[in-house]
Amino acid sequence: MFGVKAFELIRDLTLTGPEALPLYNSETVRQVLEEMRVLYERNQRDVNNSVNEDSSYLGTVHLRHAALERNKRCLLAYLVNRLQRIRDLRWDFGSVLPGDVAGSLCEQEVQWLQNYNRHLATYMRGLDGLDLTQEHCPPKSLCLEVRCLQDYGLFELEDGEQVLLKKDSIHLLPRSECLMLIRQGVLEHIPH
Amino acid sequence: MYVQDLKSGFYDLLVGKRAIIFVNYDVDAICAFKILQHLLKYDDILFTMVPVQGISDLKREFDETPNENVIILINCGGSIDIVEELQPDPDVVFFVVDSHRPTDVCNIYSQSQIRLLRKIEDDENVPDFETIFRDDDEDINEDSAHSSASEGDEPEGRHEKRARKTEESVMKQRDKRLWEEKRNRTLFEYSQFSYYGRSSSAIVFEVAWKVSKDNLELLWWAVVGLTEQLILDKIESHQFILEAGNLQTHMLRLSHQQDKGDSGSVMRITFEKDLQLSLYRHWSIESSLFNTRFTACKLKIWSLNGERRLQQLLADMGIPIAQSKQKFCAMDLQLRHEFCDKMEMQAVKYGLDGIGCESFTLQCGYRQRYSASDVVFSLVALLESTESGRSSKINFMDTLDSLSRAKRPLLEAGISRAKDLLVNIFQFVRNTITMGLIHSAGPFLYLTVQEGLVNCSQLLKPHCLGMLTRFVLEAYVASSKSRRSAAQPLVISAPYMDGIRLLLGIPPIKEDSPRNFFGKAFENAAERSQVEAFSELFDTSYILIRAEDQDRFFDALIKVLQ
């Protein structure tokens, strides 16, 4: 049946969840392209044969054309969805993707990602070095209220002042300084 | 020095700097810090908060923190000489919001390093500057001037010169001695009684009001801080009413300003007539009547007669016994509404007049109403909880969290702990009275709490111990035949840590004022008996001594108080 292989590609993406990136299924892609080529050749031959208004092959041609369109749509959906997932992963992990994720990209996707990184870096440089990938939404406040979970010791702020991070003390610190410590687990953000 | 204008003299000086805040372990301080935290967060003033339990804690934490130029002390440090104890750098500024009185005179007369965020109260009787501080350099200068003059002046006979000089110096020494005696006497009179002044959370709320950032939530925290002072017998009821009137005007102003739209999340604070029964809204009426100090002592509920009186009271009010044992919110609607009025009507007959009082209640949307005293009990129970594996700092953080609206379950957990606490206190009191464990030691009564006698170690924490002591004294006075007991103070001795006992002294029942002379009395007794006593907590009516020194200390205390 036509379009079964193309459907396999789509199923690949939906089964692995919205965030994960499965291995690039180049085998199935090649098979789909092969199927499309066969359908197109047959259609070409039938159209040539019935060039003198012979409408007996009209239905077959339409069917094959519909199958071609379907395959094309599935292929494009597969490729575009993968690119979107790669882009989201880049925003989550930074410009270098972890090993197992990087292994499931094909070379064109790798090239695409490099281009994307370059464009993003140029844009961020134009904004005076503001790193947009730190936060997905613009932060609501300049300073964060944090509670210290472990005895960390002296911590130096950007303007040279030192803060003693002792267990179970509450601090109000600028957002940029504490984000790193929050990620490490030393501080805990207290929402209002 | 006193800061007159809270905005320009305190808040404006914080902008752009980093502040370190030391907060004492009590509910008033926690409420005050919560209000301050709200203000500082919205102005992006960086701060660090460190909870401290006593004087040595404060010293240790101060030494460990890196140099900072603004320090705020909430309910700690006002009554000790900060400059001498902490040895700060000269450019460090201290802002002190402390309700402990008497404030140390060095703090009052400090030029600019120590700033007290309050006004002088009328009954404070702060000694004048001249009586306490005197330029001692004057004497030295005059002596040297005289000696140089005497060397130059040859014609005048040496003898007369020397005689005149020694006479003058003798006079000066006598003056100095008289001045020193007067100074010591004035200082002793000034610091004789320890008591509490205006609540810190009310002062910090005023700061919020002056910078126009006040709202109902901050007002509620100020109310809780003030109510704590009343419930733990730190202030008298007329002081409470004065301050409550002040907060009530704020409440009216803020309630009018509030948006009347979405009534599901609107906070409503009301100041209305209420009963002095602890936690009655969250408990059954019978339990509440049993475990509230006021009713228990007036009805003498620990005896059989008392229980019968209680049943009679409930019958007179028309409340069936079965309903009185149910939770208050599960009682009939009719009974619930009329409970307050019926109680007031029957109060006189049973000697319970005074059970009605005015108090603040909070209602958020359609949820459960909380009265300020309920919240105070819950916070005290949370702050001093003795669940295993929880350090006191975690308790402090929990108490801080339970004040915010989002953490309602914490408050509920605190209320159920508070119920256990009150039940335990009552059982202890019942045991003490029936077994007659209170003895008279001449000028005062004393009670020694042994390790095994108390099944709940929470009772031995400072605040709970205070509540317990007051309850025990009132119960003893109610049940004893002698008239003298009402005029005797009580000293309770409880185990604190291994080998160390915590002593607390409270003034007699007859005196309405909570002015406590035990701070100075303990100090004198320790000196007399050469016992090493640690006045660790900021409230000087508590003192720590070693268990083996207890008898000697008591003997010395008896002599001091006679």
Q: What is the pLDDT of residues B235-252, one digit of tens each?
A: 888 889 999 999 999 999
Give the burial string for B307-327 (b: 16+ CB within 10 Å, else e): eebbeebbeebebeeebbeee
Complex prediction ipTM = 0.75
Contact B41 A145 (CB under 8 A): yes
Distance of CA B327 to the CA centre of its chain: 32
Contact A161, A176 (CB under 8 A): no
Q: Does A189 touch chain B (CB under 8 A)?
A: no
Choosing from A84, A99, A125, the residue where a domain stops is: A125
Of the residues A140, A141, A143, the best mutation for testing chain B's interface (the one with the most B CB atoms within 10 Å of its CB) is A143
Q: Which helix (H) or strand (E) holds B494?
A: strand B490-497
Tell whether the model's pLDDT for residue B9 goes beyond 80: yes
CATH value at residue A171: 3.40.5
Domain match, A38 and A78 both: yes
Q: Does A53 touch chain B (CB under 8 A)?
A: no
Q: Minimal CA–CA distance to B280: which of B294, B301, B265? A: B294
Tell whether the model's pLDDT for residue B119 goes beyond 60: yes
Domain match, A105 and A157 both: no
CATH value at residue A60: 1.20.58.1030
Domain match, A97 and A150 both: no
Assigned domain for A133 exists:
no
Q: How many domains does chain A have?
A: 2
Q: Which residue of A has its CA nearest to B51?
A: A169
| Predicted local confidence at residue A134, as pLDDT | 73
Domain extent, residue A64, equals 4-125
Assigned domain for A134 exists:
no
Domain match, A113 and A148 both: no
Assigned domain for A137 exists:
no
* CA–CA gap between residue B547 and residue B552 (Å, rounded): 10
Q: Does A173 touch chain B (CB under 8 A)?
A: yes
Q: What is the pLDDT of residues B510-559, one digit of tens each?
A: 887 888 888 888 888 888 888 888 888 888 889 898 888 888 888 898 88
Assigned domain for A136 exists:
no
The pTM assigned to this predicted structure is 0.82
Task: Report domain extents, chain B.
Answer: 131-191, 266-426, 436-561
Assigned domain for A135 exists:
no
| Predicted local confidence at residue B199, as pLDDT | 92
Indicate the CATH number for domain B436-561.
3.10.310
Q: How many CB atoms lie within 10 A of CB B207?
A: 21
| Predicted local confidence at residue B150, as pLDDT | 46
| Predicted local confidence at residue B260, as pLDDT | 67
Domain match, A108 and A176 both: no
B382 vs B365, more confident? B382
Mean pLDDT, residues A165-176 taken together: 84
What phi-psi label fits residue A125: left (phi over 0), alpha (psi between -120 and 50 degrees) or beta? alpha
Domain match, A87 and A21 both: yes
At B264, is the pLDDT very low, low, confident or very high (cuts 50, 70, 90)? low
Domain match, A88 and A24 both: yes
Assigned domain for A111 exists:
yes
| Predicted local confidence at residue B355, as pLDDT | 84
Q: Does A132 touch chain B (CB under 8 A)?
A: no
